[in-house]
Every structure is written in C-alpha cells, then in structure tokens.
Amino acid sequence: MIDSETSFVSGSAEPTGIRRCHHAGARQPGHPLQRLRAVYSHLLAILVTAAVLTAANGQEPSAASERFAIVGARVFDGERTLTDATVLVSAGRIEAVGIGLAVPERFALVDGAGRTLLPGLIDAHVHARAGGAARALAFGVTTELDMFTDPALAREMRAGQAAGTADARADLFSAGILATAPGGHGTQYGFRIPTISTPAEAPAFVDARLAEGSDYLKIVLDDGRAFGVAFPTLDAATVGALVKAAHGRGKLAVVHVGSLAGAEMAIAAGADGLVHLFADRPPPADFVRRAREAGAFVVATLGVTGTTTGVPAGRELAADARVAPYLDAAEHELLRRAYPRQPGSRIDLTNAATGIRALAEAGIPILAGSDAPNPGTAHGVTMHGELELLVKAGLSPTAALTAATAAPADAFRLADRGRIRPGLRADLLLVEGDPTTDITATRNLVAIWKRGVRFQRPRHDVVLAEPPKRGGGRVSDFETALGSSFETDWKTSTDAVIGGKSTASLTRLAEGADGSQGAMRITGAVAADSPNGWAGAVLHPGGRQGTAVDLSATPVLAFAARGSGTYDLSIFARRFGLAPVSRSFTADAEWRRYVVPFAELSGFDGRDVTAIFIGSITAGAFTLDIDDVELRPSQE
Ligand SMILES: [Zn+2]
C-alpha cells in the first residue's frame, strides 16, 4: 500500500548537501553535518588519481639563448610604471631596463607601442596537477605556488625546473602534503595522507615534509562551521608547534583558515601568512592591527570564496572573448561550476572583499591566488579573474598587479622573479593596452616569455553545446527490466572506482509499488574502511557519464521506495562537477512515495543533469527497493 505522498520538505529528512565527487561524505553515520567533509575543497582526488602520470606539454624549447628588446612599452616593474621604456633580455635574464636605452646589435626588436610589459604572474594558491602548470603559462602565469598536492608530482616538476626543461610551463613551488588533523579538511579525497594530532609530533611531521621536498609548510585550521559543515581541526598548541618547527628549519608556515577565529589563532601562532581570507565576517580592526604587527601576508582567493556560496566565479571570465578561444573544453566546464551553498553557511564574498581592502589599506601584503582547480577556477586563467575581483574590492589596478607579481615573490622569498629589474629572470608578459588603468587588459596577451623563451599559446576555440532538452514523465517502472525512458539502464555505482571496498548489485523484483509488476532492488554494503564510501544505483540520463541533459521542464523527481533505514539521493549536474546536490531519506517496510523538487537541492534548476544516484553512504549492509521513478513538471 502506498501512503499519501510525502514531500521531503515537510519530512524529517535532513539535507545532506554536497559531498566531494561522491567520494566524500560518509564517515559519521547519523550526523549529517559530519558526513559532509567536503565543502570548500579541491579536486585533488580525481586529479591526483587520474591525471598525475600524464606528462605535461611535450614541447620543450631549448635553453634560452635569444636576445631581444621590447621597445617603447609601458613597463610595470612589479610596483611602478615606466612609460615608453626599453627592456633588454638576453640568456633568459633581464639585462637592462630604462628609457631611451640603446638597443645593441643582434637583439631582435619587439614593438611595445600601446602595450604594457609586466612580470610573469605568480599565482599564490594552486593545487598542482599534471598539465596544470602548462595551462597556467598559457595565461601568463609563470610561477605557481602549490598549497597541497602529491609530493611525487612536485618533486618531478622541481627536477624539471632544475634541469632547465620547464620553459613550456609555469614553475612550481609546493607545500606537498598539508598538515591537518585526522579526519580534517584535506583528508576527504579518497586517498590517505599522514595527519597530526599533538604538538609533540610537529618536528617529525615537518621533517617528513621537508624530506619529501616541500618548499614551505601548509597548515589547515578550519572546523568547517563557517561553511555550514563540521570536521575536526588542529588545536592552537599543535599549530604553534608546527609553525615553530617550520621556522626552525628555515621554512615558511602558511595557514588555511575558514573563519576569523582560525585566522586569529594562526596569527597568534606566528604564521607567515594566510592562504585564504575568512569570509564569515569582515575583519575587526584589532585583527587587522595584529596581522600587521605580526608582518603576516594574506592570499586573497576571492573567486573561490564566491564559488563556495554557489556563485560560479569563472562564468563571466569564460565568456570573455579575450579568454574563451584559449580555454580547453574541460576549463570551460570547470569555470562554470560552483559548490552548492550549504544551509548553515556564513560565507559572504562581501566580507572577504571588504576585508581584503581593509588589510591592504593597513599595509598588509595582499597576494593573488586562484585556488585552481576548484570548481569555478582553472589554472592560469583564473588569475585574470582574481585581478579584476581585487580591483572590485577596492585595490588600485597597480596594487592588484603587485599582488600577482612582486608581493608573492617577496612573501615567498623568490628573489629571482616577480619584478622587471636587471638580473632577474625574463618571465614576462606583453599585453595590449594598459592594465594599470583597466585591469582586464591583462587578458589581451600579445606575448608570454618564460626565462626569455617565447611560449606559443595553443588556441582551442571550443564551442560549448547547451545540454539537449529532455522531457520527463515516467522514467522507470521496472515492469520488465531495469531500463529507463532515457534508453539507458540503471547501473551499480560504488566507491570501487576510487579504490573503495563497497559493493552493490541490482535485481528486478516481480512485484512493485501499488500492486505493479516490477521494482528495482538495490542490495549492497558500504565498507566501514572506505573513507567517504558509497554504494547504490545510478542513472545517466545523457546516456553516459558526464553527458548532461536539460531536465528543467520537469524539475521534480518522484519515486517510490521501501527499505529499512536512511538512504541517499544525489543529483549530479554539469555545473557542480563531481560534487552532487543531495538529500537523505528514510524508508521502511511499506512502499512510500517521495517527491523532490530539484529547487530544494541548493536551488538547482535541472538544466544540466548528468546523473541520478540512489543508494547508501552509511557504513553497513543495506537493501532498498525503488519503483515508479518519474520526472514531473511541478510538485502537484
Ligand atoms: Zn586550496
């Protein structure tokens, strides 16, 4: 028998919100907030597991032997602007900078009229992935400062830089593995990393990172609460011991914070800098004063901060005609994504923007960082969006450019770059127009040089297809098979794809809801030792994984279910990438109907659905019967 229809809104089910990649989420059954490990995090799991071994751009130019002169350009040297200047480059270094310089023979001439020469950009917050640094260089980012990646990847990239074979990509400096508490932010990516719990462990922890090659130490101090979630984090004593251990070994210690409270603790612990500004509130005056007195710097990652509130930070950037032809298909996708906003989130981009302005006015060094490749960001291109956001926050265009050049070079002690000055590396950008008056002119890239080697930007000219519109109606009645009106069958989905041990199987029952002749039975087990495990059934309405369809004409999912316990419904959308919008629901031995308007899932409109998942994210064995899956035009 079927009860009268139950809407999720009126039911007691708590929203489960986003989970990373479907890889994150289920560690603490019964505590929905604790199941959400993932908010405001990075795409490392997929990128590290899937892409690490792919070689970067194969084209490796020979050592920089060119001599050339950029003549008649406006030159932003990292802090100030010279007009009608000449810059001489030879053997990969800047040889001279001045007005009216004679150009020696055998120097090729580059016309700088109407153009601006800038130091190569330094992105002060990325997560390295194979190929990412080549994409960075394609947008004028000549140095990336990584804040958590696979140390083996970082080691390989450092070796390439030392051998002089890295001129077709940005240089990388890396934190390697971050310092976080067991179960803390950074542990949710489906692979195990060492963690730390007590001050006594700090020296050995830091020694291990340095042995892996880390250039500096990155510490996570974030309990998730500002984002509407909760996870464990380090205590003040442990953070203090980590900072002390890093400093004792001559290394910087930088801290990821998620709230004012975390930032205060980091500054009190002696951290060199914050790699995000908190956005749960604007910084109070006494925090600004203490940060200034401590000499700390702050990396503004304004785009990704907006992205955690559901705003796809890169959407307008990806549509900019100066940028779009150079983006590949994956970047077009990634830039249009955001994290669904969590119900309890206190994050507000305005807080971060006014905060950055207040810090800058107090003389605190501001560094620009993309936090690529989080949803809404991509390596390289996002720095052009960050520069614009810094100006919108109230920095002058010149101050914004300093935040992406001289300021990160100073903060991270990179004495050989970040400025246009004799003796420094010839990491240079030539752009049409004047970014010191119109910051978006950095997108008019005319030439990019890494160590004096000209980089040829690949064009992609991707044409983005809108997802095809599909009607809804009866999707699956399971009367004869486990098929659907989308001409694809329901299939099992488990964490085995990321190395987990959860299992699932699907069978057709000969009796279903409302006296019908069929239903789908999902049996499975979520393995207790699979971090963030899942098991269940998935339908790809686009025919295959990752292909989106537009279901916005029928944006209400209805189904019947029978079981014993709490289950998970997750909708994957192209714009949300691998982080679904989700609801938990409870089912008992009676068939009941469930009606879920997509709009109740973080305001989702159904325009680009890639997958519908029904199953369990709670450790243990389960059985769940599903019938009469429908997509309706309205809730009725
Ligand atoms: Zn990050």
pLDDT digits (tens, 9 = 90+) for 19-28: 333 322 322 2
* CA 185 to centroid of ligand 1, rounded, Å: 10
Instruction: Identify residue 183 by its one-letter amino acid code.
Output: G
In eight-state DSSP terms, residue 81 is E
pLDDT value at position 468? 85
pLDDT value at position 1? 34
Is 545 within a domain?
A: yes
Write out the E strands in 258-336: 273-274, 297-300
Identify which of 74-88, 298-312, 601-615 has the greatest average pLDDT.
74-88
Element (H, E) at 358: helix 349-361
Q: How many CB atoms lie within 10 A of CB 98?
A: 13
pLDDT, average across residues 117-135:
97
* CA 465 to centroid of ligand 1, rounded, Å: 30
* CA 33 to centroid of ligand 1, rounded, Å: 21
From 65-69, 438-442, 453-457, 529-533, the region with the lowest mean pLDDT: 529-533
Instruction: Identify residue 447 by its one-letter amino acid code.
Output: A
- Do residues 308 and 359 both lie within one domain? yes
Cβ neighbours of residue 618 closer than 8 Å, sequence gap 6 or more? 26, 29, 30, 526, 565, 566, 568
207 is written with which tokens?
């020694």
**Following CA atoms 418, 397, 126, 136 in sequence, which dihedral angle do they give, to the nearest 10 degrees?**
-70
Query: Strands 108-111 and 67-76: what pairing?
Result: parallel
Assign 495 a pLDDT band (cuts: 50, 70, 90). confident
pLDDT value at position 8? 29
Is 312 within a domain?
A: yes
pLDDT, average across residues 356-377:
96
> Using one digit for the tens of pLDDT, what is the confidence trace for 571-581?
988 766 666 78
Q: Which domain holds residue 295?
A: 115-454
Three-state DSSP class for residue 174: strand
Is residue 179 pLDDT above 50, yes or no?
Answer: yes
- Do residues 509 and 429 both lie within one domain? no
Is 46 within a domain?
A: no
* CA 148 to centroid of ligand 1, rounded, Å: 7
Is 217 within a domain?
A: yes
Assign 470 a pLDDT band (cuts: 50, 70, 90). confident
- Do residues 445 and 493 both lie within one domain? no
- Do residues 324 and 442 both lie within one domain? yes
Which of 454, 473, 499 delimits the end of a domain?
454
The CATH number covering residue 181 comes to 3.20.20.140
Is residue 78 pLDDT above 80, yes or no?
Answer: yes
Is 307 within a domain?
A: yes
Which residue carries 């602007």 as its tokens? 81
- Do residues 419 and 532 both lie within one domain? no
Assign 275 a pLDDT band (cuts: 50, 70, 90). very high
Is 48 within a domain?
A: no
CA 264 to chain centre: 24
* CA 587 to centroid of ligand 1, rounded, Å: 38
430 is written with which tokens?
């030539």
* CA 543 to centroid of ligand 1, rounded, Å: 33
Mean pLDDT value across the chain: 87
- Do residues 361 and 483 both lie within one domain? no
What is the tally of structural domains in the chain? 2
* CA 601 to centroid of ligand 1, rounded, Å: 25
How far apart are the C-alpha atoms of 238 and 102, rounded to whole Å?
A: 58
- Do residues 341 and 217 both lie within one domain? yes
With beta carbons less than 8 A apart as the criterion, state whether 179 and 275 touch: no
pLDDT value at position 285? 96
pLDDT, average across residues 582-608:
90
Percentage of the chain lying above the pLDDT 70 cut = 88
- Do residues 413 and 474 both lie within one domain? no
Which of 402, 424, 454 delimits the end of a domain?
454
* CA 372 to centroid of ligand 1, rounded, Å: 7
The CATH number covering residue 525 comes to 2.60.120.430
- The answer, yes or no, to whether the previous bond of 373 is cis (omega within 30 of 0) is yes
* CA 435 to centroid of ligand 1, rounded, Å: 27
* CA 94 to centroid of ligand 1, rounded, Å: 32
Assign 61 a pLDDT band (cuts: 50, 70, 90). very low
- Do residues 442 and 485 both lie within one domain? no
How far apart are the C-alpha atoms of 494 and 538, rounded to whole Å?
A: 9
* CA 371 to centroid of ligand 1, rounded, Å: 5
pLDDT value at position 309? 83
* CA 258 to centroid of ligand 1, rounded, Å: 11
Is 302 within a domain?
A: yes
- Do residues 199 and 250 both lie within one domain? yes
* CA 126 to centroid of ligand 1, rounded, Å: 6
pLDDT value at position 544? 79
Is residue 43 pLDDT above 50, yes or no?
Answer: no
pLDDT, average across residues 1-10:
31
* Residues forming beta bridges with residue 575, ordered by sequence position: none
Which of 429, 454, 479 delimits the end of a domain?
454
How far apart are the C-alpha atoms of 143 and 161, rounded to whole Å?
A: 11
User: What secondary structure does DSSP assign to 107-165, as a single string?
Assistant: PEEEE-TTEEEEEPEEEEEE---TTHHHHHHTTTEEEEEESS--HHHHHHHHHHHHTT-
How does 281-315 read in b/e, with b if 16+ C-beta sit within 10 Å?
bbbeeebbebbeebebbbbbbbbbbbbbbbbbbbe
Is residue 386 pLDDT above 50, yes or no?
Answer: yes
* CA 276 to centroid of ligand 1, rounded, Å: 8
- Do residues 447 and 476 both lie within one domain? no
* CA 163 to centroid of ligand 1, rounded, Å: 28
Is 69 within a domain?
A: no
* CA 8 to centroid of ligand 1, rounded, Å: 34
CA 85 to chain centre: 39
* Residues forming beta bridges with residue 523, ordered by sequence position: 505, 623
With beta carbons less than 8 A apart as the criterion, state whether 598 and 556 touch: yes
* CA 184 to centroid of ligand 1, rounded, Å: 14
Is residue 17 pLDDT above 60, yes or no?
Answer: no
> Using one digit for the tens of pLDDT, what is the confidence trace for 519-557?
999 999 999 876 578 999 999 998 877 788 999 999 999
- Do residues 477 and 421 both lie within one domain? no
Q: Is the dihedral of CA 204, 210, 216, 221 positive or negative?
A: negative
What is the total residue count of the chain? 636
How wide is the angle at C-alpha 298 spanned by C-alphas 296 and 299, nearest 5°?
145
